[in-house]
């Protein structure tokens, strides 16, 4: 179908008007800047070719959009115009040529400035006092946003110095710095709030809130770049000196402003700012060139919506539209499951982008991103590209809402979302290749298995080379493999080692380590494979140092085979299980075999373990890969637990079917109702055999009885309850009848350590206090029994004093420990 120029012009005007209204009135981005600019340039070209089709209400003759009715309307004494755009060096050269010819000057000076990507505003000062602020609106009329502008710390309420005009309008840009934008969005994601699309929309949306308190919560900034109405005084005769004068009166002016001459000066400035763009604290989408002297500006005059003496030289767009071809899950080193959009490749800010983060499932739901959608992708600086919005009117028929997969695409373990959390994570941990390096690094750390000498770069190379695939493989490492690893990684110039290859093949296959590190490639894969399978000759001293390291590491690995239960539990890297929780688990349950097969409700019998930690433990031990990793440690790695003991007699206290029902967090089941239910069903083979009527007869309200029946019918719940009941009976059989004696003079007390101790380390002090029965916490509260304060104690000491918590100095601690040795 052939489209006439009139039809195309009409379609372009409607599309541009819609995009303008969405952006200026609702702070929504329907199409990216690059698409908007392309449509506008097409419309300008058509109107020039067909002047009979031009109209006074065309978007080519307008600035912005009409002001919102939500705000009081402000008429600008001097119109706030827009700028023409240049996208090439040739267009900049034409701009300079036109001015030079018009003014008959061979050399023309320009003020060159960064073009901030924010919201243009006008600030009115009378007698040096800020009285009104307005948005640009349609250029003639804007919105009164004075109350919101007063929340911006960069905008002076009273001018500094002296000599300002009686009436002064300052024009500038309100923007949100990148760091403030990212911080706001991160808080929004964590709290399930609305995520802002980009810093420009963030600034516009924040400034146009009806409640100034909301604007105050969103950190906005301001740069001045010009003036409007001036009465009762004069400004300097050049734009650059005017900016200096504004700075003297208290306005922030960009330090990147400069005065340059001619086309080459402008282009050099453009390239310099372009190279610095990614490192700036704020977004810019180009630079602005303004004829510097005001007399020349007046001589050049204006066109319909822009001055002839200024132009914006645009950078490659940081936002583009493209299509979502797939949504996949990427598993991070800590197990975080992040959805990633696979995109039809598109150039964004000079880089080809084919992947973009979607942050989390909640963000996908808010944006309603679907496979097949046309979306706007943003890339600013070094920030990972992200999908910021969906172009809804381009959605193809038949698309389906996206759902988070139930299992990890890497290891197959369950993907879980903790209660009250936004993020999802793979529960495979030890068995998940995506988490392998992090899991091994944690396992070997000082507070875990304490394999001294096995640092991050060694772990990374061993994993990349395929030598270590899990924590148990650490116990298979040979001295020769470690020696080769050390020699290669400590070489100052690994690529130069190719000349030192010996013709003999190593007996232990350690060339794989070499392959991962050197990454040599002579263009002959056969040569590479052969060369990397050969040992290297080093100096005697280098090899001596490496040998000592390898021998020490082998000894550390061997020593770690004998471990306490709490160290091993902490080393497994279970989410939410720190040293304190691992210690409590070891003390209360005593045996790894019991702990690893315990249904999650029973973990809540340990003080300070709530539902979130208990479910995390349950999820970890439910994964077959994690169970296999533990088997490998015990059988292949021959790790031995040195302090296992029967479950604590304290577990007997209150452990019965009624308490089990409460710990299972069944909706509506309180302790009292659970006791009635357990008593009524004491003769039944199992609670699973009971029906709704029996629950009512046991004293449950009808809705609670129905809820219990529905809970039991839900997949896995009944089996969980049966397993928990069986394990409860096992614990009751194995736990001693008598509770242990009090652990020591500090049994039941909570201590906090702060500052530096001179006679012993914090770790040693913690161990000795715990040996006397104390719980050592990381923060001070009303429940804290005492605080031990060393030198340079900080906020914890202050809080203890404000709460009236007893404070010991180091001498008191040492005296107490000596008295109870």
Find, among 201, 82, 220, the residue nearest to 139 by Cα: 82
Helix (H/G/I), strand (E/B), else coil: 392: helix
Q: Are 80 and 135 in contact (CB under 8 A)?
A: no
Residue 726 vs residue 506, higher pLDDT: 726
Instruction: Note the pLDDT of residue 518.
Output: 40
| Predicted confidence (pLDDT) per residue in 155-213, tens digit | 999 999 889 999 999 999 999 888 888 888 887 777 767 777 677 777 777 777 766 77
If you average pLDDT over each of 261-270, 482-491, 662-671, 716-725, which comes out highest?
Answer: 261-270
Residue 531 vs residue 667, higher pLDDT: 667
Query: CA of 742: how far to CAs of 331, 747, 767, in Å?
Result: 46, 6, 17
* CATH code, 565-734: 1.10.150.20
**Is residue 776 over pLDDT 80?**
yes
- Annotated binding residue at 408? yes
- pLDDT bin (cut points 50, 70, 90) of residue 568 is very high
- Annotated binding residue at 747? no
Instruction: Note the pLDDT of residue 494.
Output: 44
**Is residue 596 over pLDDT 90?**
yes
- Annotated binding residue at 341? no
Q: Are 229 and 235 in contact (CB under 8 A)?
A: no
Tell which CATH architecture fits domain 319-404. Beta Barrel (2.40)
- pLDDT bin (cut points 50, 70, 90) of residue 1 is low
Find, among 451, 492, 484, the residue nearest to 467 by Cα: 484
Instruction: Note the pLDDT of residue 157.
Output: 93
C-alpha span between 727 and 625 (Å, rounded): 22
**Is residue 288 over pLDDT 80?**
yes
Residue 776 vs residue 585, higher pLDDT: 585
Burial of 93 (0-12, 13-18, 19+ CB in 10 A): middle
- pLDDT bin (cut points 50, 70, 90) of residue 435 is confident
Instruction: Note the pLDDT of residue 26.
Output: 57
| Predicted confidence (pLDDT) per residue in 355-375, tens digit | 888 888 888 888 899 999 999
Q: Are 98 and 40 in contact (CB under 8 A)?
A: no
- Annotated binding residue at 734? no
Sequence-distant (6+) residues with CB within 8 A of 535 are 484, 501, 502, 504, 505, 506, 510, 511
| Predicted confidence (pLDDT) per residue in 696-709, tens digit | 888 888 888 888 88
Tell which CATH architecture fits domain 5-61. Orthogonal Bundle (1.10)
- pLDDT bin (cut points 50, 70, 90) of residue 63 is low
Instruction: Note the pLDDT of residue 695.
Output: 85
Which CATH fold would you assign to the domain 750-819? Rossmann fold (3.40.50)
Instruction: Note the pLDDT of residue 601.
Output: 94
CB atoms near residue 734 (< 10 Å): 13
**Is residue 508 over pLDDT 50?**
no
Sequence-distant (6+) residues with CB within 8 A of 183 are none
Tell which CATH architecture fits domain 75-314. 2-Layer Sandwich (3.30)
- pLDDT bin (cut points 50, 70, 90) of residue 798 is confident
Q: What is the mean pLDDT of the chain?
A: 83
Instruction: Note the pLDDT of residue 493.
Output: 42
**Is residue 507 over pLDDT 80?**
no
Report the largest interatomic distance among the alpha carbons of the chain, rounded to a whole angstrom: 107
C-alpha span between 197 and 585 (Å, rounded): 45
CB atoms near residue 579 (< 10 Å): 15
As a whole number, mean pLDDT of residues 225-241 equals 93
Domain extents in the chain: 5-61, 75-314, 319-404, 451-559, 565-734, 750-819
Find, among 671, 656, 700, the residue nearest to 690 by Cα: 700
Find, among 531, 620, 536, the residue nearest to 581 by Cα: 620
How many residues make up the chain in this entry?
821
- Annotated binding residue at 257? no
Find, among 2, 83, 8, the residue nearest to 43 by Cα: 8
Indicate the helix (H) or strand (E) that contains 554.
helix 540-559
C-alpha span between 43 and 70 (Å, rounded): 31
**Is residue 811 over pLDDT 80?**
yes
Instruction: Note the pLDDT of residue 223.
Output: 95
C-alpha span between 798 and 793 (Å, rounded): 9
As a whole number, mean pLDDT of residues 3-10 equals 81
Instruction: Give me 599's structure tokens.
Output: 């249904």
Q: Are 344 and 323 in contact (CB under 8 A)?
A: yes
Find the DSSP H helices in 50-115: 89-103
Catalytically active residues are 115
Q: Are 583 and 566 in contact (CB under 8 A)?
A: yes
Helix (H/G/I), strand (E/B), else coil: 447: coil
- pLDDT bin (cut points 50, 70, 90) of residue 504 is very low
| Predicted confidence (pLDDT) per residue in 105-140, tens digit | 989 999 999 999 888 999 999 999 999 999 988 888
Composition of the chain by helix, strand, coil, percent to 5: 45, 20, 40
**Is residue 584 over pLDDT 80?**
yes
Instruction: Note the pLDDT of residue 209.
Output: 72
Residue 305 vs residue 720, higher pLDDT: 720
- Annotated binding residue at 36? yes
Q: What residue ranges in 452-507 does DSSP mark as E strands?
A: none
């Amino acid at each position: 179908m052939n489209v006439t120029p009139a039809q195309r012009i009409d379609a372009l005007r409607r599309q541009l008007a819609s995009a303008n209204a969405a952006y200026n009135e609702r702070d929504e981005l329907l199409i990216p800047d690059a698409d908007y600019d392309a449509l506008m340039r097409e419309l300008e070209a058509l109107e020039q070719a067909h002047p009979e089709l031009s109209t006074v209400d065309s978007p080519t003759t307008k600035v912005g959009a009409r002001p919102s009715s939500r705000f009081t309307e402000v008429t600008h004494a001097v119109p706030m115009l827009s700028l023409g755009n240049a996208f090439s060096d040739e267009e900049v050269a034409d701009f300079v040529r036109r001015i030079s010819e018009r003014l008959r000057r061979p050399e023309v000076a320009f003020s060159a400035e960064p073009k901030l990507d924010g919201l243009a505003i006008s600030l009115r000062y009378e007698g040096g006092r800020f009285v009104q602020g307005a948005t640009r609106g349609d250029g003639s009329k804007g919105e009164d946003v004075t109350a919101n502008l007063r929340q911006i710390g960069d905008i002076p309420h009273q001018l500094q110095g002296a000599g300002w005009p009686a009436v002064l309008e300052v024009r500038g840009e309100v923007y949100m710095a990148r760091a403030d934008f990212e911080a706001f969005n991160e808080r929004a994601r964590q709290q399930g709030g609305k995520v802002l699309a980009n810093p420009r929309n963030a600034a516009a949306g924040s400034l146009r809130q009806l409640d100034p308190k909301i604007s105050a919560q969103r950190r906005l900034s301001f740069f001045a770049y010009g003036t409007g109405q001036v009465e009762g005084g004069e400004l300097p005769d050049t734009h650059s000196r005017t900016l200096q004068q504004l700075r003297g009166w208290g306005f922030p002016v960009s330090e990147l402003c400069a005065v340059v001459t001619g086309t080459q000066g402008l282009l050099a400035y453009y390239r310099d700012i372009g190279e610095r763009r990614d490192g700036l604290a704020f977004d810019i989408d180009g630079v602005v060139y303004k004829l510097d002297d005001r007399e020349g500006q007046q001589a050049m005059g204006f066109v319909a919506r822009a001055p002839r003496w200024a132009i914006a030289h645009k950078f490659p767009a940081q936002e583009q539209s493209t299509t979502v071809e797939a949504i996949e899950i990427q598993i991070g080193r800590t197990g975080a499951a992040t959805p990633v959009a696979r995109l039809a490749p598109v150039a964004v800010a000079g880089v080809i982008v084919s992947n973009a983060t979607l942050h989390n499932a909640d963000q996908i739901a808010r944006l309603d991103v679907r496979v097949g959608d046309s979306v706007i992708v943003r890339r600013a600086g070094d920030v990972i590209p992200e999908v910021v919005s969906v172009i809804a009117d381009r959605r193809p028929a038949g698309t389906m809402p996206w759902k988070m997969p139930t299992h990890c695409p890497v290891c197959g373990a369950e993907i879980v979302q903790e209660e009250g959390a936004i993020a999802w994570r793979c529960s495979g941990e030890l068995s998940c290749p995506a988490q392998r390096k992090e899991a091994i690094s944690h396992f070997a750390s000082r507070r875990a298995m304490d394999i001294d000498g096995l640092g991050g770069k060694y772990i990374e190379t061993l994993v990349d080379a395929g030598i270590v695939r899990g924590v148990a493989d650490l116990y298979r490492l040979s001295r020769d493999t470690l020696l080769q690893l050390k020699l290669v990684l400590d070489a100052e110039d690994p690529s130069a080692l190719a000349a030192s290859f010996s013709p003999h093949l190593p007996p232990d296959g350690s060339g794989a380590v070499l392959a991962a590190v050197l990454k040599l490639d002579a263009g002959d894969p056969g040569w590479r494979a052969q060369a990397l399978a050969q040992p290297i000759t080093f100096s005697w001293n280098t090899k001596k140092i490496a040998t000592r390291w390898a021998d020490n590491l082998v000894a550390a690995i061997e020593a770690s085979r004998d471990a306490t239960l709490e160290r091993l539990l902490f080393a497994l890297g279970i989410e939410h299980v720190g040293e304190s929780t691992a210690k409590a688990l070891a003390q209360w349950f005593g045996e790894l075999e019991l702990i690893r097969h315990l249904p999650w409700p029973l973990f809540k019998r340990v003080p300070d373990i709530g539902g979130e930690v208990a479910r995390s433990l349950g999820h970890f031990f439910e994964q077959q890969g994690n169970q296999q990793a533990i088997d490998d440690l015990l059988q292949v790695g021959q790790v031995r637990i040195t302090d296992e003991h029967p479950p604590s007699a304290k577990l007997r206290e209150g452990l019965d079917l009624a308490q089990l029902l409460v710990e299972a967090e069944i909706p509506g089941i309180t302790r009292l109702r659970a006791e009635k239910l357990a008593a009524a069903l004491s003769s039944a083979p199992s609670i699973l055999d009971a029906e709704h009527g029996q629950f009512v007869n046991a004293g449950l309200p009808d809705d609670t009885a129905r809820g219990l029946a529905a809970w039991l019918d839900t997949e896995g719940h009944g089996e969980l309850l049966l397993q928990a009941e069986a394990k409860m009976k096992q614990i009751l059989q194995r736990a001693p009848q008598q509770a242990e004696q009090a652990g020591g003079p500090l049994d039941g007390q909570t201590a906090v350590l702060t500052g530096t101790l001179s006679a012993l380390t914090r770790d040693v002090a913690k161990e000795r206090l715990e040996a006397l029965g104390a719980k050592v916490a990381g923060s001070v509260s009303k429940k804290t029994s005492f605080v031990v304060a060393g030198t340079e104690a900080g906020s914890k000491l202050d809080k203890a004093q404000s709460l009236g918590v007893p404070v010991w100095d180091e001498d008191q601690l040492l005296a107490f420990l000596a008295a109870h040795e």
